[in-house]
Structure 1
Amino acid sequence: MQSKLPSHAEYVVIGGGIIGLSIAYHLTRLGHRDVLLLERDQLTCGTTWHAAGLVTQLRASENMAKLAQYTAGLFRELEELTGQHTGFRQCGSITVAATPERLEELKRGASMGRSFGLDVEIIDAAEARRRVPLLEVTDVLGAAWIPSDGKTNPVDTARAFAAGARQGGAKILERTPVMRVLVEKGKISGVQTAEGVVRADKVVICAGMWSRALAAELNWTVPLHAAEHFYVVTESMAGLSPDTPTVRDLDACFYAKEDAGKLLVGFFEPKGKPWGMEGIPREFSFDSLPDDFEHIEPHLADAMRRMPALENVGLQLSFNGPESFTPDNRFLLGPAPDISGLYVASGFNSCGIESSGGAGKVMAEWMSTGVPASDYWEMDVRRAMPFQRNRRYLRDRTGEAVGLLYALHWPHKSPETARKVRVSPLHDRLAAAGAKFGEAAGWERAQWFGAPESPANARATFARDDWFKASGAEHEATRSAVTLFDQTSFAHLLVQGRDALALLQRLSTNDVNVPVGRIVYTPWLNERGGMESDVTIARTGDEEFLVVTAAVQRIRDLAWLRTHAKGAGHVFVADVSSGYTCLSVMGPRSRELLMRVSPADFSDGAFPFATAREVEIGYGMALAFRMTFVGELGWELHVPTEQALGVYDGLIAAGGDLDLRHAGYVALNTLRLEAGYRDWGADVSDEDSPLEAGLGFTVAWNKAENFIGRAVLESQRGQVPRRRLVQLAAPRAAPLMFGTEPVWRNGSLVGYLRSAGFGHTLGCGVGMGYLRSEHGVTAEWLAKGSFEIEIAGERHAAIASLRAFYDSNRTRVKGECRKIDDLVAQELLTARAEG
């Protein structure tokens, strides 16, 4: 065996499940021949061998959908490409809805699917039964039909990837467990096996439920946890066609598919059973877990009601096997933040088979070029926070994560388990004031405020419910008076040293060489001109800068800084986030409130926009930024954490007669949408350039220093973009918009909304999305078009503009009183009157 183990490989893939095999296959398709895959026992022996093999394509984002669509397309031809039978059959899928809420979710999902180029049809109960005669549909209100979905044999499909990888020159070694991943000076150096060391240029961990522990040895957070997954297989059923569509009843928590003349029925129960907290045995191979029929019996009973034929057939098999789940039900793909050359592809939440082709292609391209081919931020492992490798946290969250796959995805919904991991010093004060908390990057953040005695996790719906009314009042108060936002979840990164300016100039499109006390908003680009992040940088000293970024971008942006700081001279980067609490005081009366609690001069002359000043406030000190994300006069107060309660109490005490009220993140979102402020991860990402995003004002073309991505921007400069972020409003639409809604121009699909909400000042739904035109997206093109936004299958007339609908000249930010932009005010008011 020793002679079979090479001393070096360009690429090492750890794990011989379908994901690792797909990556090896796709690496060879890119022309790489020095690829080594190491499997601890036998191929597919962990989770792949017992997967159900459903192939579905509807996903929550465009790029996730593309992964699934690519997989389904590849499965159609994989047997021909490799000579290995896969068992893939494109039989279609049906998801039934027996409640109005579920039907609306399906309709919204169908609209979203059309945005992503997927053929999704909403059918009635009779058509669902015609396609699947086994269904009982007396209570069914409708169903989603996707003809291109299907099923495959997981083991045979994995073998096809293995055959194709070997044909491309990859070496696959079974019974060769990786004991450790080796790192030297922040760079991957190889892997340690029981039979020796393999030096490697790049390594990817595809070890499924073993991945967390393997990464944790390197202090890297790859948050996933195994859970028991149950399914049953019936005895043979006469007349059951292999072309029977797969079935899902999400409210009944089950799926079903034809399997060699039998019916396989699986469950995603609301309260799952985490497994393996003390570690997964290395020798666990082709093993199952003890049966627990009592646990699944209620869901099997629901399946029998939906498919009565199950009552008259015996069960040949009741199976229980472990699968990996992540805290947010999203994949873990991409590079280690601080270890060059190390990657992961794990945590597929029972969607590994149907995502294997796309995930393999993405990771092969990412490893080959060093950058992802598209925006995969929501799956990027760098979203994970260090605390998320805590095993108790993962166990408790996984019990809920299993059921969340099939739960209704209400707007603003957050998990209920493993909460209060990261809390602001003001948490108890906010709770007493009626805060209804959601979770972001582990932070408890106020989404909106209601009656203190109302349930903390009151159900949000797609309708204008309590959350809508409460956040609407906060929105209006921000426009008319003054509100207080707790934004402690901001990440604060300190960059110091005599070469700090040079580093930030290299990373930033904007000019950071400003006087001490000035603030710069700037994108950070990758080499292809996409926005890796957008940050606020305050120059706090001659050789000191404070970078403020969003909570979810903390690890990503910190890694970006540290990576580029290597070899950049005398520069030091530190994460000082825990040292600050951020209170944002926003609204036309914000200046008046601050002058009551601070002797500082907050006038325009002394404290202009984009200025940072240390001010006395209450009994403490704060670094005050005159900035806004809501389109109103306002200040962010970055307060030392230990002084936060005193500053907060002082503001509350001073604001009573100013109509001061608390506000949460739902209002923050609707306010910024009206004002046209971009949100990284939603409206802008690492495949969007500032020019496409309407952020050309952030590019300092004349600064002497070069910046990453400049060459690409120079090639776009002066060109009419064929793809452009556009503001859209739907004045007559009653249904609410939440993002991903398709946008039509003159009857043709031209894009979809990246983000959306209800503009309470405008009185209608408002959003932003990239629209496409071969002739260029210009104001003239928008003016000549007739636009519609599709919401839950219905199209509604829309207005499109390159300028923000609310105060596009930013007069409110300057303390003036202009509101809705003149260009669109009359159209909106007319439409509202006619409606």
Structure 2
Amino acid sequence: MLRIASENVLNRNNKFLPLIYNNIQKYSTEVNVPSQADVVVIGGGSLGCNTLYQLSKRGVNAVLLERAKITSGTTWHTGGLLWRLRPNDVEIQLLDSTTKLMQTLEAETGENPGYVNNGGLFISRTEERLKEYKRLHTIGHYFGIESHIIPASEAVKLHPLLNPKSFTFALYCPSDGCLDPSMLCNALIKGATKSGGKLIENCPVTNILTDSSTGVRKISGVETPHGTIKTKCVVNAAGAWSRNVAHMVGLEIPLAALKHAYVVTESIPEAKGTPNIRDHDASIYYRTQGDTMYVGGYEMNPYILKEVADDFQFGLYDLDFNIFGVHVEKASELTPIMQKIGLKSHICGPESFTPDHKPLLGEDPRLAGLYHACGMNSAGMMLGVGCAEQVAIWVTKGRPELHMFSYDIRRFTPAMRNDRAWVTETSQEAYAKNYSIVFPHDQPLAGRNHKIDVFHEALVANGAVMEQAQGWERPGFFIKESTAPVRGYDWYGFYDHVDNPDKRYEKQLEGDYTFDFSKHHDLIGEEALAARTNAALFDISYFCKMYLTGPDAQFAADWLFTAHTDRELEKVVYTCSLNKQGGAEGDMTVIGLNQGVGTLVGPILKGSGYYVVAGGASGYHTISHLRKEIEKKQFKAHVTDVTDKLGILSIQGPKSREILQSITECPITDEKLPFGMSDIITINGHVCRVVRLSFIGELGYELHIPVASCIPIYNKLVDAGRSFDMKYAGYRALYSLSCEKGYHLWNYDLRSSDNPVEANLGKFCRKEGSYLGKHHVDRLKSEGIKKRRVFLALKERIPLWGYETIWRDDSIVGFLRRAEYAYFLKSSVGIGFVSHPKGSNVTKNYLTSGQYEIEVMGKRYPAILHLESPFDPTNQRLLGHYEHQFQEQIHFED
């Protein structure tokens, strides 16, 4: 039976401690801190050791400070599982870095890193889970990861302890394995010290010094009981204690500490050499360790820690079997021997978790030189190498090599970071749903209504089913004759909370719990087709809105943006903003402003001024990027965020002009307001900015409205729209329409690792002058490209969701970054990047000469490749020319 021991007993008798001390101490420097270092890494766990190794290998003078002993926080007791397949390409590549290093680290250091390649099994109990595994299997093809979908009868041959009656299929990945935390950290430290890195144990950081003398707050050093180290760069790799590090400089980070546990079985001879197991449907995992098994899981009601004591080292908590017992019950069903065998010990310790179950990495936008490498969500061993590698590149080159937005600390706004109730709710739910199926349109229940716009109440009353995007509530789609408001989080009935009886919102979500077409498919189609054939109203207020002003605003715009912005005033310019490596850090529209009179939509300018609109989910990332580059160049310019002060209503479709003109005396004709222009107009006595622009490829207008005027203008517009049968439309329709038109969506088919030339945006990059990243744009225009963004359409009516592989003439050449159903074209469509299997340049002839297929859940379907979307290729609809509005559809079907 399970032995429950006190924390102190576990600490005294833990058999792993001598091994950890003996292996690590010999590489630790005596407590004699240097006076200066290029980088100081705080925290000697997996991320700290990996970061020291990666920095030292790049010639950086780096020091790792650990308050106690290496691995003594949470790393020493980690399960150490290493999986290869994940539901996104970036994470697969991060894991691949770990796998690759395990092949070479021992030869480099002479130390065995403790890697065991025993394979892995993902257990499937349901049809939808099997589809998810087929999707993993499919994206794995692109990265050359071997995997097999096998029936339960075959899985039992690989792992004889499994009960074949408890599941139907499994996904088997032979290259999965596990890691020994102390052995790996030992090897990493030895490798780092060979390259000049320094480890100093028993040396807590007591304060982080900053300097604001230049007007920008920067890291200047760290204080310890043994002396001060001058440095311009600190990496916060303190795990569950990372918030404490952030507090030293007056910052908060979105991280919560939770108890996480696993049990260790008595000896089971049949377990030797068996694969590790993930039973996602039961929310449990197994690690094979010699002739024993570690069994852990993610329960719905984990114990949430308010804090972890500073002196907590090599410590454990007592296991609460009232919480953990559900995992043993599930494990006893999957592996019946658990009903007979004893549990000889348990491991229950603190782990750090984040609101979206992704790490916190990168430079903090509010303090230059402070980098984060924490919040690993109990995956610090398997992701440690890849994440540390990217952080090291971040530190040395300014930006990571991979597209790391989903891991970048800048994805969280200051309001999100500072809201502890929000962080706790969302982190708990992310933990509880860690093994839930990742459906394309699933939505969280925790942390909702964190950020709502001025139209929220009115839209919900009219049937809006809201979705959450980086803390913002926005309409996903609209239901008829009912409402589905998002209620307060009920913690799934745990922690003495009463289960919320109002399940209307959850019932709507259930319609999307599928990899087939959603139950809301036709409803969303009605919204999309209304925008194509009549008129639809979108609330896009969550878009990021900012002003770029100041004496050097024009110089800043020239440097920050790839396109010409010094155009006629009120001209709308689509552009990208790049990083030093030429990757797209964002795309946005930029409007050069007339001198205003002091209103929100017409500010008084001192010099040039620009109104900039960018994507909402990445808004804080965009603002941080622009501000950072302005600081580097020391421009006398400012970026002012006005997102909360302005709402945006977008009316789109053939009837949009008639509807809008009916509520304003200001002319919006082609002569007065041609496509791509902006103006200040009055509606019912309220002043707003009208922008003739479309995110979907139709005649359309955006109204940028001061918050105080939003509801009056909304009411006027809705009243006018009734006689035209204008429909409400949400983001599900918006993204479908945008994809159908072939427009870019940053973080999907346009990333920080994509050059505009590769993304078919070279025409928005000016030839003359200088801008950030221009050298790499010019180089690719001259030398050619290795990948190219393309548009593909299926011939059969099969749903696409993204991450399906692209085949050309029987070779895998890419995968879909983004996919939707195109209601006007009547086809599933996707956008991805195609490369040459031999690494050659990708040319127009190469792209158009092959036969294409898209692999969906292991099966290949014929597809048509287009260099650009076939929908309205000459942009006649944007100009309001609808004489041949169905020509594209007929041509496509031929």
CA distance in 2, matches of 1:31, 1:505: 34
Preserved CA contact (<8 Å) 1:805 1:821: no
Alignment partner, residue 471 of structure 1: 524
Match of 2:355 among 313, 327, 332: 327
The CA deviation at 1:110 is 1.1
Which digits, 9 at most, give the CA deviation of each residue in 1:488-546, with x for residues without a partner?
11111211122101110111110110122111110011222211111111112362111
Deviation at 1:354, TM superposition (A): 0.5
Task: State the 1:315 CA deviation.
Answer: 1.0
Is residue 2:326 matched to residue 1:263?
no
SS at match of 2:460: helix
Residue 400 (1) aligns with residue 463 (2): no
Given that residues 807 and 818 in structure 1 are in contact (C-alpha distance below 8 angstroms), is that contact kept between their aligned partners in structure 2? Answer: no
Tell me if the contact between 1:806 and 1:821 (Cα under 8 Å) persists in the aligned partners.
Answer: no
1:247 aligns with 2:271: no
Residue number in structure 2 paired with 1:5 = 33
Residue 132 in 1 paired to residue 195 in 2?
no
Superposition pairs of residues 299-338 of structure 1, within 5 angstroms: 299-338=327-366
1:15 pairs with 2:43: yes
1:236 match: 267
Deviations 1:313-354 (A, max 9, x none): 011113321111111111111111143222111111111100
Contact 1:812 1:818 in 2 (8 A): no
Query: 2:848 maps to which residue?
Result: 783
Letter in 1 for 2:242: S
Match of 2:659 among 574, 587, 593: 593
What is the CA deviation profile of residues 46-105 of structure 1, one whole-angstrom value per residue up to 9, with x for unaligned ones? 110111010112123222211101101212332332223332110110001110011011
Aligned residues of 1:233 and 1:317 also touching (Cα < 8 A)? yes
Q: What per-residue deviation string (whole Å, max 9, x for no partner) do you get for residues 242-263 of structure 1?
A: x210011101010012123111
Residues 301 and 323, structure 2, Cα contact 8 Å, conserved in 1: no
Secondary structure in 1 matching 2:559: helix
Amino acid across the alignment from 2:365: P
Equivalent pair of 1:228/1:273 in contact (CA under 8 Å): yes
Q: How far apart are the structure 2 equivalents of 1:184 and 1:268?
A: 43
Match of 2:442 among 389, 393, 413: 413
Corresponding residue number in structure 2 for 1:532: 585
**Alignment partner of 1:343 is 2:409:** no
Aligned equivalents of 2:886, 2:34: Cα separation in 1: 67
2:458 to 414, 426, 429: 429
Corresponding residue number in structure 2 for 1:498: 551
In structure 1, distance between residues paired with 2:777 and 2:173: 40
CA drift at 1:569: 4.0
Whether contact under 8 Å (1:751, 1:770) holds in the other structure is yes
Asked if residue 731 in structure 1 is aligned to residue 758 in structure 2, the reply is: no
1:456 matches 2:505: yes
Q: TM-score, normalised on structure 1?
A: 0.95
CA–CA separation in structure 2 for the residues paired with 1:718 and 1:72: 36
Query: How far did 1:219 drift?
Result: 4.8
Structure 1: how far apart are the matches of 2:530 and 2:892?
21
C-alpha distance in 2, partners of 1:364/1:55? 22
Deviation digits for residues 283-316 of structure 1 (CA, Å, limit 9, x no counterpart): 1212222321011222321111111111110111
Question: 8 Å contact 2:357–2:427 — kept in the other structure?
Answer: no
Query: Structure 1 residues 663 and 221 mapped into 2: Cα distance closer, same or farther (>3 Å)?
Result: farther
Q: Aligned equivalents of 2:224 and 2:134: distance in 1?
A: 51
- Residue pairs, 1:605-684, within 5 angstroms: 605-684=671-750
Alignment partner of 1:760 is 2:809: no
Partner of 1:552: helix, strand, or coil? coil
* Residue from 606, 621, 629 that aligns with 1:556: 621
The alpha-carbon distance between structure 1 residues 270 and 181, as it changes in their structure 2 partners (threshold 3 A), is: same
Q: Deviations over 1:352-394 (max 9, x none)?
A: 1001111222212221222212221211111111122222221
**What is the CA deviation profile of residues 168-189 of structure 1, one whole-angstrom value per residue up to 9, with x for unaligned ones?**
2211111111122222122211
1:196 shift after superposition: 2.8
Structure 1 unaligned runs (5+)? Answer: 831-835
Give the match for residue 577 of structure 1: 643
Q: Higher mean Cα deviation, 491-500 or 755-764? A: 491-500
What is the letter of the counterpart of residue 236 of structure 1? S
* Deviation digits for residues 583-639 of structure 1 (CA, Å, limit 9, x no counterpart): 111111111111122112111111111111111123422111111111111111111
Q: TM-score, normalised by structure 2?
A: 0.89
Runs of 4+ aligned residues of structure 1 deviating over 6 Å after TM superposition are 818-822
Q: How does 1:151-190 map to 2 (within 5 A)?
A: 151-185=178-212, 186-190=217-221
Deviation of 1:2 after TM superposition, in Å, equals: 9.4
Distance 2:136 2:79 in 1: 23
Q: Aligned residue for 1:119?
A: 146
Q: Distance in 2 between matches of 1:825 and 1:719?
A: 37
Contact between 1:808 and 1:821, CA under 8 Å: does it hold in 2?
no
When the two structures are aligned, how many residues end up with a matched partner? 822
In structure 2, distance between residues paired with 1:380 and 1:714: 28
Aligned pairs (5 A) from 1:440-451: 440-451=469-480
Structure-1 separation of matches of 2:235 and 2:328: 39
C-alpha contact 2:42 2:238 (8 A) present in aligned 1: yes
**What's the counterpart of residue 833 of structure 1?**
none
Q: Which amino acid aligns with 2:570?
A: G
For residue 717 of structure 1, report the CA deviation from its aligned partner.
2.0
Counterparts of 1:332 and 1:239, CA distance in 2: 40
Which residue of 1 is the match for residue 229 of structure 2?
198
1:795 alignment counterpart: 860
Preserved CA contact (<8 Å) 1:731 1:763? no
Instruction: Mark the CA change 1:718 to 1:808 in structure 2 (over 3 Å): closer, same or farther.
Output: farther
The question of whether the paired residues in 2 share the 8 Å contact of 1:495 and 1:546 is answered with yes
**What is the rounded CA distance, in whole Å, between the counterparts of 1:536 and 1:142 in structure 2?**
49
Aligned residue for 1:31, secondary structure, equals coil
